[in-house]
Structure 1
Amino acid sequence: MHPTCLVLPALILVSIMIVCIMVKFAVVDKPKPEPGEPTMLDHGSLRFAKNMGLIRLSEKSSLNVSERFPYVAAITRNSSRTWEFACFASVILVKWVVTSAHCRRTGSTHRVFLYNDFARNVSTSYPIMLWRLHELYNSTIPSPKYDIAVAKLNLVNVLPFSLKSAYMDEYEVTAGDVSVWKTVSTMDKKLYLTNDFEKIPVFIAPGTKCYESYGIYLDESMFCVDMSEYDSCFINEFGPIYTGDKIVGIIAVKPRDCDMKLAIFTNVSYYTNWILRTTHTVQFV
């Protein structure tokens, strides 16, 4: 038999095998999320959750602590195709969150994350329908003064979920628990939320301490928190301060570095009437 007759069928056979392999890889199923990785209840997209900045830090989730703060929220935002963690907030009045005014960035889309099932690393995300910044806050020259805002969640077309709200009143407190939903920072300084949660009891320090460090005079609308007795680094990790289920403060000025143990919080109790008026709520909830 002529050698050409043997080579030609062999080439055809090899070509058929290559085509079959290419088709197989073209139609292969998309990889499923690994057990324990962050997922979303709405949209059901692991890719979306990762882009929003949710990662798994360790096998041991701090379930008991996270359940202590069901109303702690994280706000993420994007200005193009990239989402990033922006700041923390607290659910109030069921459909609203209270947060810092400096958290909102003009031209960006914002969403609110809640870790409603911390044991299974399941997060729920809600789009923000509208923002209400304090009328006297100057976004062009940001300062801790009047650094407060409320945002209304868009709860339409999402799976049923019972939002637990923190309550608020206008009575002054001297101590509380800082909720610490931990973050990690990458080399490009992008922040990611993790599945690690902590709470730290704190006392409100004299305003002169923060004045000496930041040169900011603290009136009744702000208070100073001294974390010098703790070894941890708290940059970008502060959530709201609570006493019981009452929201007490939200971060206005975070520590500059790990050696700086002083932070300035906006006094939510001072703004209670403003919150009720802005959200059109007639009574404390």
Structure 2
Amino acid sequence: MTATRIHHADKQQNGDAMAETSTVEDVFDDTYREKEGKKPPRILVWRNIILMCLLHIGALYGLVLIPSASWLTLGWTALCYLMSALGVTAGAHRLWSHRSYKASFPLRVFLALANSMAFQNDIYEWSRDHRVHHKYSETDADPHNAKRGFFFSHIGWLLVRKHPDVIEKGKKLELGDLKVDKVVMFQKRYYKLSVVLFCFLIPMLVPWYVWGESLAVGYFVPGLLRYTVVLNATWLVNSAAHMWGNRPYDKTINPRENPFVAISAIGEHSLFIF
């Protein structure tokens, strides 16, 4: 066997091993047991609380501005929403968290940019937390444990410090497939810059520059309003779809089929997530 073939065989073997590791990392671990005794104190993250309040106030103002927005701007807002949602559902969730399909390099780049437009943490961190969610679902090690109530699983988990078990279990994941993915690591390295550009500037400036929309409408409608709606659509998969809906496959688990959540999250169901 030539050196080239040996290298190719090693590369293929490593790739298969990483795919296997990825699969194991998002499989439910029924050996985990929550620690008994006093629960750790709930520590509020005031920066996140203030920012989320301001964001939703801005989104409400965006609703007020909708009548003054042109049809082109509303169409652009819908396009930005679709792109943002795909960055989460088709990108961070199905491609990078679960390796549900293979994607060409151009598609991976597109989904990474779309993920930056969604602004829900970089692909690496999103995938890590989602694998922890699957592996320790609805326990103290689940980042958005639905057993802690609707508000916590929807948005509250972002307003408090993570439970120590979430941090501990997250650090134990190998995440080898993500670490060798150049698209993932490039996005992680330049995430803040990409968010400013794709989540805020491009949605605002395109309507202003191309068809003369006001900057205020561009910022609040395809910018803040679109971003806030995408956030809440994603959060509903963690909250509403774990509480309301039917359970046609397994009535012993909390995740449910919820048509409203499926539509708002561009096809994502709780049963896909779980």
* TM norm structure 1: 0.25
Where relative contact order (Cα < 8 A, 6+ residues apart) is larger, the structure is 2
Q: Which has the higher strand share?
A: 1
* Structure of larger gyration radius: 1
Q: What TM-score, normalized to structure 2?
A: 0.25
